[in-house]
Structure 1
């Protein structure tokens, strides 16, 4: 999962998940997401941030980053920005752990898990540090070709990773759903990273499936979409008048739990009645199944 993903490849979850489709039909009309008609018309470049694990069961998820030809500054630029975003994610993860009455490193330790090289070796030198397959994924959509109001760039979905953070996009269009089902447009201030604070219109960290698993559903994966709205149309007109690019670009970073770490409810969350819905599973196995559903790995799979 590194390198380029062209438009027309990734399939939004809401297009293939029948249970999700039933839920959408029961929503009040004003809160329903836009309906995608096919794969997302967006381009994405996946760039690995952080060192790869020296030993992992999930080599494909932890592949070497791909450097495109003709960009000598590519690695330094991408790493510089990516590490800043990871640093922000780790700070939020520590604050979330404290807020959930867990040890400060409850989440961050799983992003950099210490594992044995072999199951039965216990000596210190037989231990290795396994890093999460964090991906900086700048995402672009051509508004000159796909700038019609109602065009869906990223159909209604949740993220399959731990936490997601964005740089401010050049054009508006990101909608989120609060836990009560209310739909809201995200507005990220200039100079800020978007960090899905779910009750706010300013900035937000998008909660993914991993944190839902680790908290037994106390913190659910945030639903969201990217669609051309009337505000997007206004921004397109202004950009055209100013002779600026009509590509909608956002610098998304997907932070992951280490592929070989186990997802299961942590601490007191293991006592929640809902904990049985979140059985133990390797993060890498979970991610592979989710990728298959949205057409980013092999044939369609199911969880």
Structure 2
């Protein structure tokens, strides 16, 4: 049973945007670094992010995934490892299955808070849409392939995806800058490493008509917008209790990824989460059937992956000490 009383630290990005050198902004930077170190996750309030753009994005993605299976499959690019376009259901396998650190965390979790048992690939779909400038040259062209624009949405797709993706991108860039300051580094240390990275707006989609029964694991799932359906749980670094995450209106959820773990030598650990159909999910489904009967019943998660540039070298940065065997110097594209 997930704990619903816990609230992740909330970071006010507006304080930093308004005056980066103010006492309040510096305190917020330290709060950001502490949240990432202690929990591997935080909530962020960015005044530039609008609920209207989130709603428009969710409507678009719901309509896209409500298309017939074979129509969606035309947008798959398996030859690029599904790094652009659509990834069909039962293709992605949760990384926790093959991550010793994640398995170690699960082993220490009390039975009541363990993730629901799930083997094999997720029943969710995903779409990868590139955000940001592409490098002129790279050793990893597969990670920087041309975008896929679905035929039925060719007129509105780029504008809506870029609008929402850019908002998530600038929000998580702000958090990386604040984290740099909070950890005692130059403000541009982490943001500069992400320049020309293969950043991805990567919405996941689960068919609740098909997989909408209680206990169904939709994603044994880096920044998330607010979904229209509950069911997201995370496990913070400093505890073994499952936390049900509810993202307030106007806020975003940021979870640390493996590349940040690498750069901090494990001082910040990559976060883990699952998405499960719960009683609250069922209640929301029934409500949506009444209030929006014409809308597809798909649970959309507006995930965004911020990546270090593919040709940058991943290794613990100067303020951090990390096990060189666990975090050896590695090209980011190889790690990805």
1:181 corresponds in structure 2 to 240
1:69 corresponds in structure 2 to 151
1:279 corresponds in structure 2 to 328
1:61-95 residue CA offsets vs partner (Å, 9 max, x unmatched): 11111111122121111111111111101110000
Report the CA distance between 1:19 and its aligned residue: 6.3
Given the alignment of the two structures, is residue 168 of structure 1 paired with residue 219 of structure 2, yes or no?
Answer: no
- Which consecutive unaligned segments of at least 5 residues does structure 1 have? 113-130, 158-163, 196-204, 288-303
- Out of 203, 207, 212, the position equivalent to 1:147 is 212
Question: Would you say the 8 A contact 2:316–2:322 is kept in 1?
Answer: no
Question: Would you say the 8 A contact 1:52–1:64 is kept in 2?
Answer: no
- Out of 193, 196, 214, the position equivalent to 2:263 is 214
1:301 corresponds in structure 2 to none
Report the CA distance between 1:277 and its aligned residue: 2.4
Given the alignment of the two structures, is residue 108 of structure 1 paired with residue 207 of structure 2, yes or no?
Answer: no
Query: What CA distance in whole angstroms lies between the structure 2 residues aligned with 1:21 and 1:214?
Result: 22
Query: What CA distance in whole angstroms lies between the structure 2 residues aligned with 1:268 and 1:276?
Result: 18
Report the CA distance between 1:16 and its aligned residue: 4.0
The DSSP-based 3-state class of the residue aligned with 1:47 is strand
**As a proportion of its length, which structure holds more helix?**
2
1:257-291 residue CA offsets vs partner (Å, 9 max, x unmatched): 0000011111121xx2645521110110001xxxx
Distance 1:245 1:190, change over 3 A: farther
Given the alignment of the two structures, is residue 263 of structure 1 paired with residue 328 of structure 2, yes or no?
Answer: no
1:28-65 residue CA offsets vs partner (Å, 9 max, x unmatched): 11221011132111111100111221100000011111
Q: CA RMSD in A?
A: 1.6
1:115-150 residue CA offsets vs partner (Å, 9 max, x unmatched): xxxxxxxxxxxxxxxx00000112111111100111
- Out of 101, 107, 112, the position equivalent to 1:25 is 107
Distance 1:275 1:135, change over 3 A: same
1:190 corresponds in structure 2 to 249
Greater relative CO (CA pairs within 8 A, separation 6+): 2
Structure 1 outlier segments of 4+, above 6 Å:
none
The DSSP-based 3-state class of the residue aligned with 1:235 is helix
The two structures have a TM-score, normalised by structure 1, of: 0.79
Report the CA distance between 1:17 and its aligned residue: 4.4
- Which consecutive unaligned segments of at least 5 residues does structure 2 have? 1-82
Distance 1:5 1:273, change over 3 A: closer
Query: What CA distance in whole angstroms lies between the structure 1 residues aligned with 2:314 and 2:241?
Result: 29
2:61 corresponds in structure 1 to none
Question: What count of residue pairs does the alignment treat as equivalent?
Answer: 250
Distance 1:19 1:257, change over 3 A: closer
Query: What CA distance in whole angstroms lies between the structure 1 residues aligned with 2:99 and 2:223?
Result: 25
